[in-house]
Amino acid sequence: MRIATWNVNSITARLPRLLAWLEATGTDVVCIQETKTTAEQFPADELRELGYESAVHATGRWNGVALVSRVGLEDVVKGLPGDPGYDGVQEPRAISATCGPVRLWSVYVPNGREVGHAHYAYKLQWFEALKAAVAGDAGGSRPFAVLGDYNVAPTDDDVWDPALFVDSTHVTPAERAALADLRGAGLTDIVPRPLKYDHPFTYWDYRQLGFPKNRGMRIDLVYGNEPFAEAVTDSYVDREERKGKGASDHAPVVVDLDV
């Protein structure tokens, strides 16, 4: 079974790539973030023609998450229980479902904007709610994973130049502690192989030739429980999808499972 997570930065803009990529890779389930559409505008028909069902939690211009599966899509839960909300709004940043033998979440963790910003406090609160929401499944016997854009680089090795990121969001001790808390609930960071260079970066800024210079970060993560981690046979970052015109600024992370 092949699953993946991909921040597509607009499902509308990325649809041709997504369809071609699904066919080329034979991915069974893809966790999508930043759909940037309403649920009504989500291209479920095009995906259905390829044999995929879709579960979508999206409200328009910003955020939006989805699960796209050709191996079943049951018990869909939209939203994060206990979501703290930002400015009084609970944003569409989490969706979960059972896809065949595995239970999966697709999450888009708040960016945080700047340390000290209200959005940064929201980010940390959001992580607290996420941990509470997944703790039961994380400790369970069914393969379970939380995949998505975590907007945190777990270690200094996960940013291209740690010196440039001092005191920036994505690397602060509080954000990394939030990840450690999640792992403490029973989840393991499934670190993918890079297909080129030494670091499995998953995101490269569009600006200033970030990708050609490999100025990347590993912020798209797969956190799996023990039964999930034991089933993993391979994982890699598909950097080919970051190349060329019409690419997202994130590459897909692919995980192969023997389940």
Partner DNA sequence: ATGTCACCAGTTTGGTGA
**What's the closest the beta carbon of residue 116 comes to DNA, in angstroms?**
14
Catalytic status, residue 108: yes
How far, in Å, CA of 98 to CA of 91, rounded? 22
Do 77 and 57 meet the contact criterion of CB atoms below 8 Å apart?
no
The binding track of 118-147 with respect to DNA, each residue x by CB under 7 A or -, is -x----------------------------
Helix (H) or strand (E) holding 128: helix 118-138
CB-nearer residue toward DNA: 16 or 139: 16
Q: How many residues does the chain have?
A: 259
How far, in Å, CA of 34 to CA of 13, rounded? 11
The binding track of 155-194 with respect to DNA, each residue x by CB under 7 A or -, is ----------------------------------------
Stretch that binds DNA, among 70-78, 109-117, 180-188, 222-230 (CB under 7 A): 109-117
Q: What are phi and psi of 227, to 5 degrees?
A: -60, -35
Q: Which residues between 204 and 223 bind DNA (CB under 7 A)?
A: 206-209
Q: Token pair of 166, please?
A: 């001092």
7 labelled ligand-binding = yes
CB-nearer residue toward DNA: 193 or 213: 213
How far, in Å, CA of 232 to CA of 230, rounded? 6
Q: Per the residue annotation, which of 28, 149, 158, 189 is the catalytic one?
A: 149
How far, in Å, CA of 4 to CA of 1, rounded? 10
Residue 132: which residues within 8 A CB-CB, separation 6 or more?
Answer: 81, 82
Catalytic status, residue 149: yes
Q: Per the residue annotation, which of 52, 57, 108, 122 is the catalytic one?
A: 108
Q: Which residues between 33 and 72 bind DNA (CB under 7 A)?
A: 36-37, 60-62
Please tell me whether residue 32 adopts helix, strand or coil conformation: strand
Helix (H) or strand (E) holding 178: helix 173-184
Q: Which residues between 231 and 250 bind DNA (CB under 7 A)?
A: 245-246
Report the binding-site residues for Mg(2+). 7, 34, 149, 151, 249-250
| Residue ranges binding DNA (CB under 7 A) | 9-10, 12-14, 36-37, 60-62, 110-111, 113, 119, 206-209, 245-246
Catalytic residues: 108, 149, 250
